[in-house]
Structure 1
């Protein structure tokens, strides 16, 4: 919890930055150009932190934990340069290899400025913004689903029709409507798979905090997004954290007044009435979702791209050769799969255009930024896990950070979240907090020993 409940303008900026990082479809446009709300908040935060930090580059730049993040970004830059040389003569792949370089430089600058100019309260507000963004995405996905199954149109696709035209979104849809009548609600994102990351966060947070309304919203968003990733990630988190997610039985309070029982009964009646109207819609959505899940994981006669990425990994690794060590730049990790004739034949029916990233973040990062880059990324996640797991019941904000982290770790097994802004913010804010915590610990130790 934030000690000082007065947030202020800077606090609102960091809260908004966290929130809008989960909503890439929200943007402003003028003269044929468009800028996302997150980009505006991010650059405003950079300027604010630079102005606030009067000792920029005059003090030791980074604490040890955040250095690993910066090194990861540096491996991405080196990999992009290596990819540009490796793909010499192929302008499409060269362009892809260097396309992320500006973003990598900006994230390095953000990490340095955040380390030196942000307070722990600022970090907590970013985390609250990430959680708020996840909740709003799930609420929007639920509204989209209800609108579709009641009125037979996607609210998301109608509201953001201009965005779809401006960015030439695939199939002309944000929320996908499949041939069997299944809706895949995307929230405020361009792909329903993003609910696969955000939905489990809301479900787990609601269970942990005993806010079951949030849990219900999260579960419904999973149904209406029809994200198999979301279901699997939610199940994995529940299995690993069931002791924290299942409420312990409490003795009933003595002397509970009669009016409390009446309020509970009234609430049950209202919920039952709503369920009678909504249940057929939810049952239909669940049925279609189960059909999709069954086809994707259980009884599919066709090899899915995800299966090819996993089973063909070692073939792709051998095909990549030296690029597996250096990486070829973010966004180019599909190259060894396309270069290998056997793997390409299996993937060709699913390829709209290349370059692209395989639907598995760890594989993508290996070929994007090399073995060292992947190791640094995993180590950053490990540092965050160790810290927030240890402080899960002592730091109020550790709960949202911990479940965002778990969703990051497990959703990465089933989809490509390449430098996904919410995850990058979590890593920077979390590692900076760990660094500050270690510094305080050393100072306290010196005081006690001195």
Structure 2
């Protein structure tokens, strides 16, 4: 087992990983940019090292610098969290080549499944249902792009091949708007992921976004930690997640989870992964993508299973067997909901960076968990994702979990920046969320109403 872990992330992700590392009795090294030097977790680590100015390309995405820091502080491993370099196969290979452990799947799986178009080809070959999709399309061939869209049939959805988190996804209703949308999506993908490659899918109206969490060892075993419903999104970025999924036949969900588990066993997948699917009552499940990393929303699965997913990820990356990591077969207990609090205008959904003059979150207690990397007096930077906190509630019933979340959000006080708390409350109280049938485009409709 490793002794010292470098945490190559920031804010809530870094704070969460730091907690797991300390509970495992391991030494921690936190890296931070100049913009993040005052965030509370920086002072809580065994070692803290500044890695440059605020722009991510000069700090959290600076692979050479991170490798140098690992060598200088003699870290055994790096945990990339989510975002940044968490799904960068090249970085994972460099970490391993330098004699360190990359706490994530093997680089070959990050590479094979990180490209969303290639992942669809692989999973389709193993029998998973697909919606209409293209492979990666030529960047500057408008004729080929137009032809592909016509073959799919409008509306279509443009997606970055190497992206995630909903960034760069652009819906296109008709051929007239395709060229400009294609150009815009390519620019966003290049800036966000360093890869302008795009593909298209047939746009599915009012689907639900259901994802399945898996842990796997490097000895051929894979276990399902059940599903999460991540349908409450704005601009294809998740805002509320819950587990288990409501208003879907549990047997249908269980059969899908087992089919996915068997596929991962067959291909030899390892450590951690989430298979994301779209669901409609008419068509059932269809494959969307695989995330080869820890998910932001992992806490709702932890709440209903009692499994510490981050600690499990660390142990599995170190070569432990699943039977040693999880001594009992996980079972679902109760219901859990997560709400992401973003520093953003609740109507226009634009980032709202600034000073957290007041930042009072409810105290963590039984049934309520708080994840944040900020404290009152910190500044939310415009250089990074605007999420400032996650609230997670769990209870015996879904209704009770919803009520607990509403109470927790109403008790939250934030001044100095705008937040999306009013939007979250509006969603939680909506008839559609209460019924458990919120679709991917449902929150945007609520915001516009």
Q: For the superposition of Structure 1 and Structure 2, which TM-score range results when normalised by the shorter chain? A: under 0.3
Q: TM-score w.r.t. structure 1 length? A: 0.24
Identify, as 1 or 2, the structure richer in helix.
1
Larger radius of gyration: 1
Identify, as 1 or 2, the structure richer in strand.
2
RCO greater where, 1 or 2, for CA within 8 Å and sep 6 or more? Answer: 1
Q: TM-score w.r.t. structure 2 length? A: 0.24
